[in-house]
Amino acid sequence: MTIYEVARRAGVSIATVSRAMRDSDLVTAETRARVRAAAQELDFTPSRLGRSLAEGQHAANGIVFPDLVGPYYAEVVLGYEEVAAELGRSVLILATHGRRDAAAQVLDLANRVDGMVIMGRTVGDDVVERIAATGPPLVLLARDPVSTVDTIRTDNERSARELAEHLLAHGHRRFAFLGDPDDSPDVAGRYAGFAAGLRAAGVPVPAPVRCAFNLDAGREAASGLLRRRTRPQAVVCANDEVALGVHTAATEAGLSIPDDLAITGWDDVMAAGFAGLTTVRQPMRELGATAARWLHDRITEPSRDRTPVRRQVLPTQLTVRRSCGPHTGR
């Protein structure tokens, strides 16, 4: 079912069918009606491929992330998809799963979309720069800026520092940090802010205890930590899953939280509420939604690169619960 058959049936040229299908005002209402009727009868839908090739537009956006485990990426993707859909664009997803050969897949994706966002440490800067140079518009999300690419992130340093100060106010002095700063720019920022907070108070900054982003990794790392001769008083974790792993390990070790051990996480996942975990909330959907809007601007702007580079850091919110230490008063 192609435009030709509709044209024949309606007794017009394919150009007219094309116009009628897109409500161009270069056709009489009457002609349009006749064409649409024919299209209806033949159950014709213009081929996206044909149209895209001719227009040089995919009407699609891409997004690259490590995976969808935990609510963080899922929420970002959701915010992105929602706005993209409103703007009439489909969304292509690509999970790198930490694969080595992710670059090739990302490059392939760049070839299928009019714009794309690249999250965190999914691929190297070389790939980003290559796409920035010859590919579609890009937005970097939760990742350090590269050359002149638009970048959107949430604040990590400041909240982490605030968190450190809060813990210090509880009287804690021996700390541990769980998470791998080399794993993602977010973790690096959180560790940096945490370290800055301790340093300002003259408290020794521990080296990070590197572990993956999941409950089991946190649990395992913690069980080692808790066996040390001098146990930390407070464990700051790179995210909630890790923190909940520590929570589990501590409980198993017969420790009571927060009296024997204070714990904090990041993200405020649903389980954090039920575990009474102090954490930091960040505007995940807004992150994705903003990226989608920025991309749309770049894609539709008349002269590429007219808009200056955009950089934004969204604020986060410290959410204090009982896991960080006893709170007196209300």
- Tell me which residues touch DNA (CB under 7 A): 2-4, 11-16, 18-19, 21-22, 25-28, 30-31, 44-47, 49-51, 53-56
Ranges of H-type helices in the chain: 3-10, 14-21, 29-42, 48-55, 71-86, 102-110, 125-134, 157-169, 185-200, 215-225, 240-252, 270-275, 284-300
Min separation Cβ 33 and DNA, Å: 10
DSSP codes, 13-58: -HHHHHHHHTT-TTS-HHHHHHHHHHHHHHT----HHHHHHHHT--
- Between 14 and 168, CB nearer to a copy of itself: 14
CA distance 49 to 56: 10
CA distance 243 to 235: 8
DSSP, collapsed to helix, strand or coil, labels residue 71 as helix
Interaction between residue 92 and a copy of itself (CB under 8 A): yes
- Between 82 and 220, CB nearer to a copy of itself: 82
Interaction between residue 263 and a copy of itself (CB under 8 A): no
212 secondary structure, DSSP code? -
In the set 64, 77, 139, 257, which binds a copy of itself (CB under 8 A)?
77
Min separation Cβ 40 and a copy of itself, Å: 13
In the set 8, 9, 31, 68, which binds a copy of itself (CB under 8 A)?
68
Min separation Cβ 8 and DNA, Å: 11
Segment interacting with a copy of itself, rule: CB under 8 A, options 79-87, 114-122, 308-316, 317-325: 79-87
Q: What residues contact 101, with CB distance under 8 A and at least 6 apart?
A: none
Interaction between residue 319 and a copy of itself (CB under 8 A): no
CA distance 12 to 292: 39
Segment interacting with a copy of itself, rule: CB under 8 A, options 14-22, 87-95, 197-205, 296-304: 87-95
- Between 31 and 223, CB nearer to DNA: 31
Interaction between residue 69 and a copy of itself (CB under 8 A): yes
- Between 3 and 215, CB nearer to a copy of itself: 215
Question: Is residue 239 within 8 Å of 213, Cβ to Cβ?
Answer: yes
Burial class, 281, CB count within 10 angstroms (exposed 0-12 / middle 13-18 / buried 19+): middle
Measured in whole angstroms, how far is the alpha carbon of residue 100 from the centre of its chain?
20
Interaction between residue 256 and a copy of itself (CB under 8 A): no
Residue 92 binding partner per list DNA, a copy of itself, none, with a CB distance cut-off of 5 to 8 Å that depends on partner kind: a copy of itself
User: What is the contact surface with a copy of itself in residues (CB under 8 A)?
Assistant: 1, 43, 45, 47-50, 52-53, 58, 60, 67-69, 71, 74-75, 77-78, 81-82, 85, 90-95, 97, 105, 107-109, 111-112, 134, 215, 241, 244, 247, 269-271, 273-275
